Amino acid sequence: MRTMLFTAAHYAENGTGRITSRLGVSAEAELYRENDKLFERIAESHKANALSCVFVDEAQFLTREQVWQLARVADRLNIPVMCFGLRTDFQGKLFPGSSELLAIADSLREIRTICHCGAKAIMVVRRDPEGHALTEGAQVAIEKSLYVSLCRKHWEEETGRIQPGQFRAF
């Protein structure tokens, strides 16, 4: 089976895209940028050598139009498209690409991440070099190591939205 792999150009190292799993398995990937016409790129590649699947990592960085282009790949070229990425940013706001994917995806599967307390992590916090949670700034910061997955409770505590222990169960 031939799979076309994509990742956001945000994380390109020396102009090369790479998708790496948490287990360390990695593969080279095509880069996509904000103005890329993904349907055309995929259709051209498919015409040259039939594709079995398209895999998009860092899908939160897709534009709304690119999400629709990927939907057309699935609908018109009959190539399954799988997108993986974050739902929300460090401020708890949906990424534009994630918002559009949530709206039009044929199916959604959540990959669970665990907070340090053992609960399901659904939020991410971005920390400065001293380890303090950031609550303002650009939606995208390239340094991946500054992001930490947290449950909603610990995310609220770390971002100062609520003080630890402020609400207690009765």
Domain map of the chain by residue range?
1-109, 112-170
Angle (nearest 5°) at CA 97 between 128 and 34: 85
* Helical packing angle, 38-48 and 64-76, nearest 10°: 30
The CATH architecture of the domain made up of 112-170 is: 2-Layer Sandwich (3.30)
The CATH architecture of the domain made up of 1-109 is: 3-Layer(aba) Sandwich (3.40)
pTM for the predicted model, two decimal places: 0.82
pLDDT of the chain, 170 residues: tens digit per residue: 899 999 999 877 777 888 888 788 889 999 999 999 999 999 999 999 999 999 999 999 999 999 999 999 999 999 999 999 988 888 888 999 999 999 999 998 988 889 999 999 988 888 888 888 878 877 766 665 477 889 999 988 888 877 666 655 55
Catalytic residue, chosen from 13, 40, 44, 58, is: 58
Instruction: Assess whether 65 carries a catalytic annotation.
Output: no
CA distance 90 to 124: 5
